[in-house]
């Protein structure tokens, strides 16, 4: 039987952990589970976001657990879930292009209608072609935005000018960041020390 405690521990192990390269630049986001494996194999060290001290697995286990909510317990160890890890060898910055997908488009526009600014769940939102497909509009980062059902219907098969609607901002290919695939609410506040754009956006 899965207890509440097991469920909470699973959630904690699946929580996001920021991965820094050897030069302390954010390169990736992984799960607590995978971060602990990397640290256990000495491919990374755990970073304390406040003191910026780094720890091996053995050293981390000996650290006092400051926040019980963040504690992973097993019969033999009780350890704080890491929020940031530092790779021991990797020094490069990955050069990724953000793939154009429906999900990434929702993330770029932060689940917000780009015409009226309504931020809501995705069942009220859809993808709108700024220049309609019937007029030769392309399906790409520069011509697609998230729009609410109401604005989408209002715009219909018209151009921006014809509809009188205005965009909150010009749609563009997003710069790749390690956080691209995370919803703002999944990001940890402690990451702000390492990358200002990791900041959670206000709901």
- Give the residues lining the site for Zn ion (CB under 5 A): 113, 115-116, 118, 148, 151
Q: Name the residue nearer to Zn ion (CB basis): 39 or 147.
A: 147
Among 163, 201, 167, 155, smallest CA distance to 182 is for 201
State the nearest-atom distance from the C-beta of 156 to Zn ion, in Å. Answer: 13
State the nearest-atom distance from the C-beta of 149 to Zn ion, in Å. Answer: 8
Cβ atoms 182, 108 nearer than 8 A: no
Q: Name the residue nearer to Zn ion (CB basis): 47 or 130.
A: 130
State the nearest-atom distance from the C-beta of 151 to Zn ion, in Å. Answer: 3
Q: Name the residue nearer to Zn ion (CB basis): 73 or 124.
A: 124
**How many angstroms separate the Cα of 154 from the Cα of each of 11, 47, 128, 145?**
41, 50, 11, 15
State the nearest-atom distance from the C-beta of 116 to Zn ion, in Å. Answer: 3
For the chain, first and last CA: distance in Å?
A: 36
Measured in whole angstroms, how far is the alpha carbon of residue 107 from the centre of its chain? 9
Q: Name the residue nearer to Zn ion (CB basis): 87 or 107.
A: 107
State the nearest-atom distance from the C-beta of 117 to Zn ion, in Å. Answer: 7
State the nearest-atom distance from the C-beta of 200 to Zn ion, in Å. Answer: 23
DSSP 203: -
Q: Give the HSE-up count for residue 91: Cα atoms under 13 Å, Cβ half-sphere.
A: 1
Neighbours of 81 (CB within 10 A): 21
Cβ atoms 60, 80 nearer than 8 A: yes
Q: Name the residue nearer to Zn ion (CB basis): 31 or 143.
A: 143
Return the structure tokens found at 142.
Answer: 């520069």
Measured in whole angstroms, how far is the alpha carbon of residue 94 from the centre of its chain? 16
Q: Name the residue nearer to Zn ion (CB basis): 61 or 156.
A: 156
């Amino acid at each position: 039987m899965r207890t509440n405690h097991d469920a909470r521990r699973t959630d904690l192990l699946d929580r996001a952990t920021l991965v820094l390269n050897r030069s302390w630049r954010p390169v990736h986001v992984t799960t607590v589970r995978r971060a602990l494996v990397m640290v256990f194999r000495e491919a990374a060290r755990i970073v304390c976001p406040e003191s910026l001290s780094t720890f091996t697995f053995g050293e981390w286990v000996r650290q006092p657990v400051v926040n019980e909510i963040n504690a992973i317990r097993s019969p033999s160890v009780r350890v704080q879930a890491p929020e940031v890890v530092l790779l021991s060898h990797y020094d490069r910055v990955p050069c990724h292009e953000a793939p154009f997908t429906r999900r990434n488009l929702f993330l770029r526009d932060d689940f917000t209608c780009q015409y009226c600014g309504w931020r809501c769940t995705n069942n009220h939102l859809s993808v709108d072609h700024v220049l309609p497909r019937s007029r030769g509009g392309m399906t790409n980062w520069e011509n697609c935005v998230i729009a609410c059902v109401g604005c989408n219907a209002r715009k219909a098969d018209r151009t921006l000018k014809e509809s009188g609607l205005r965009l909150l901002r010009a749609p563009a290919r997003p710069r790749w960041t390690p956080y691209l695939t995370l919803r703002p609410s999944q990001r940890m506040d402690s990451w702000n020390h390492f990358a200002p754009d990791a900041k959670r956006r206000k709901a």
